[in-house]
Amino acid sequence: MNKPELLMPAGNIEKLKYAIKYGADAVYLGVVDFSLRAMRKGELITLDNLKSAIDTACSMGAKSYLTLNIFAFNNDIKALEACMDRIVDSNPDALIISDVGIMRLAQKYMPKTDIHVSTQANILNYEAVRFWQDMGATRTILARELPIKDVAEIKQKVPDMELECFIHGAQCVSFSGRCLLSDYMTNGERKANSGNCSQPCRWSYKLLEETRPGQYQEIIQDDKGTHILSTKDLCLVKHLKEMIEAGIDSFKVEGRTKSLYYVSATAKAYREAIDEILKKPDADMTPYFNELLKVGNRGYTTGFYLGEGYPKDGYSYDISKGLAGADFLCEFWDFDGEYYKIKTKNKFNKNEDIEIISPSEKFITQVTEIKNMKGEELELANTNDELLVKLTNSPKEYRYALARTVGIKGGVNEAQKCSCGD
């Protein structure tokens, strides 16, 4: 079997570095105004540091794909053309594009740069793939509505075209992500296809009959209403063998707005799962699925990939925000030979068992001491504190190590049950 690329999101500079350290072969990143995700946290990737971000990825041995995948109006084209010199200078390995006008600009200013056609181009068949190949694209990112068997047929019909598919992450309720709900619900202030979706598909809804104003009816009998548009998250870790055999060149994980922990833990799980499948095709993927339960999710589904239509239980009626099976406790910042300097994300106690993950490790250790930066001993590490801790067992790669709670909280609740076809 051919080894597929693991493509991870890089929502900011820090996430870019962690994604690569935890196993990504390539990252995709965007800048404000021309990308379908508007970032708000961390060291954001802008036109000013885009070249530095891409150079960083290159120095770490990974490729960088720049997303220019908005649906562009005239003003967008003018704005993009005005800054193309800086994009050219940043020298990404490829551009991810959905708009043919932006594609024309890319081919004018960057004729030697690979073009990857976005999933929003709604590519469902081999003739569409041939069309984009004739237009000069080197890769197509297939629609999430395709079953694996159709992907395999496309690869057979167009073997010299790279194919990329999503394997994990949040899904949009609309076909190929072409959604206007956010535009409508926010009076045009947050446009989904301009990078600022307010995610109304995750909101809770009730039914109102127009002749009975104020009398709201439950769509499903639930005192919280129901999230009738909120799909479960995609998870295909149990079907990697079939996807590799279908000839997919790149496995893509959604999540540029997700946390540093999400990016790291998801990259680690898929990196190790892919490597094991390549060595042992019949390997049990359940341990990796259990690892993915520890990151934020709305429950998991295989979506359309098994060829049976979208599963009836593929919607997350109970929750809108992803719930993680393990709490992200802290990042490690420094080590003086005895104490680790950490930044806490959630509370934990002295003498508590915690789980450490790093690019090369995963183990359980105990917190034996907690101190504040003044050296005062504490019994509790509070959220968002900078502290010093001592552990019974220490991570070797502490600069990229993360800590989380042990096990999966509460098992798998109703919202997290998987419609994964097995």
Based on the fold, state whether residues 297 and 338 are members of the same structural domain.
Answer: no
Based on the fold, state whether residues 125 and 238 are members of the same structural domain.
Answer: yes
Tell me the pLDDT tens digit for each residue of 4-19: 999 999 999 999 999 9
In sequence order, the 6+-apart residues with CB closer than 8 A to the CB of 341 are: 332, 333, 334, 335, 386, 387, 388
Based on the fold, state whether residues 122 and 251 are members of the same structural domain.
Answer: yes
pLDDT above 70: percentage of residues in the chain: 81
Domain-located, residue 184: no
pLDDT at position 411 is 55
What sign does the dihedral 174-177-180-181 (CA atoms) show? positive
Domain-located, residue 409: no
Domain-located, residue 87: yes
Compute the distance between CA of residue 10 and CA of residue 26 in angstroms, rounded to an integer. 10
Based on the fold, state whether residues 22 and 98 are members of the same structural domain.
Answer: yes
Pair 402, 356: CB distance under 8 Å: yes
Tell me the pLDDT tens digit for each residue of 343-385: 999 999 999 999 999 999 999 999 999 999 999 999 999 999 9
CATH number of the structural domain spanning residue 81: 3.20.20.70
pLDDT at position 395 is 93
> Does residue 178 have a pLDDT over 70?
no
**Average model confidence (pLDDT) for the chain?**
88
Based on the fold, state whether residues 338 and 256 are members of the same structural domain.
Answer: no
pLDDT at position 201 is 66
Tell me the pLDDT tens digit for each residue of 104-158: 999 999 999 999 999 989 999 999 999 999 999 999 999 988 999 999 999 999 9
Per-residue confidence at 324, pLDDT binned at 50, 70, 90?
Answer: confident
Per-residue confidence at 210, pLDDT binned at 50, 70, 90?
Answer: low
Domain-located, residue 179: no
> Does residue 25 have a pLDDT over 70?
yes
Based on the fold, state whether residues 260 and 382 are members of the same structural domain.
Answer: no
CATH number of the structural domain spanning residue 394: 2.40.30.10
pLDDT at position 126 is 98
Number of domains composing the chain: 2
Based on the fold, state whether residues 277 and 340 are members of the same structural domain.
Answer: no
Based on the fold, state whether residues 47 and 107 are members of the same structural domain.
Answer: yes
pLDDT at position 47 is 93
Domain-located, residue 98: yes
Domain-located, residue 210: no
Tell me the pLDDT tens digit for each residue of 51-76: 999 999 999 999 999 999 888 999 99
Based on the fold, state whether residues 264 and 381 are members of the same structural domain.
Answer: no
What sign does the dihedral 258-185-173-128 (CA atoms) show? negative
Based on the fold, state whether residues 256 and 166 are members of the same structural domain.
Answer: yes
Based on the fold, state whether residues 100 and 33 are members of the same structural domain.
Answer: yes
Residues 413-418: what's their mean pLDDT?
50
Domain-located, residue 213: no
> Does residue 415 have a pLDDT over 50?
no
Based on the fold, state whether residues 359 and 269 are members of the same structural domain.
Answer: no
> Does residue 221 have a pLDDT over 50?
no
Residues spanned by the domain of 27: 5-171+231-301
CB crowding 66-75: b at 16 or more within 10 Å, else e: bbbbbbbeee
Domain-located, residue 69: yes
